[in-house]
Amino acid sequence: MANDKFITDAPSEVNELLQDIISKNHTHLEDSEFVVIMKHGGWKSKGKTKFSGVSVLNEAIRMSMDKDAILYLNADMWNQMTDPQKRYVIDHALCTLDVKMDKHDDVLEAPDGRPLLKTLPPDIEAFFAVITRHGAVSEDVKRLAFAIKEVNVEQLTIEMAAEEQAKLEKEQQEQQEQQGPKTDADGNILITDPNQAKIPLEGEEATAAAIIATTQDGVKVPVSDDDLPF
């Protein structure tokens, strides 16, 4: 059946691409062993398409497979991606992995000498670095990059950036309310002014005003990993 969900091992070229990205941008993972799994038949989380994900293997599975982590890729989407998009997806997934450290900041190793891995929460600086390396590969990424630039803060988490963006939007709204709606030379209220939305409108005018009000107020930063584009 076309809608059946199943997994397959990734082809050799995907593994080669993974190793190339690790050697260039994630050298701390060079001693780690990955298995790459392609997920077929659609992959969504909370209604949104997922492009990739990583899972650190527990000790028992790690020893039996001789692997440290699994990189999952959405096979249906992968086959439609350009090379920059593929690199972006893998690079972004690897940003959620790091090696474990002890209290002296020394890498913790398994008996076989390979470093132990851990997963990381979403990191805005790491995400922006991925955009810098591969470009804004989708409209979602372009909007998020614009939002990060507009916030212009050195926040390490998406949640903190979202709070700053909300504060900025509130301040802008308060300033607009104090100034009142903008008018042209003839005294007509400009449809592009967000304050015009407070004027009772009906029918098509109300619809147009709602569209303008929701598209001109900037971009909101996602607040969880599931809200990220990949």
Residue 68 sits in which domain range?
Answer: 6-120
Examine the domain organization and report whether 134 and 181 are in the same domain. Answer: yes
- Which residue is it, tokens 């308060």? 174
Residue 194 has pLDDT above 60, yes or no: no
38-52: average pLDDT: 89
> Which of the 8 DSSP states describes residue 217?
S
pTM of structure: 0.61
Read off the CATH number of the domain in which 10 is found.
Answer: 3.30.2010
Our count of domains for the chain comes to 2
- Whether residues 97 and 146 share a domain: the answer is no
Whether residues 132 and 76 fall in one domain:
no
Whether 61 has a pLDDT exceeding 90, the answer reads yes
Identify the residue with better confidence: 123 or 68: 68
In terms of domains, do 66 and 164 share one? Answer: no
Hunting for tokens 């650190």 — which residue is that?
56
Q: Are residues 90 and 41 in the same domain?
A: yes
Question: Rounded distance, CA 53 to CA 70, Å?
Answer: 8
* Last-in-domain residue among 56, 90, 120: 120
Verify that 71 and 174 share a domain, yes or no: no
pLDDT digits (tens, 9 = 90+) for 155-177: 334 444 455 556 766 777 777 66
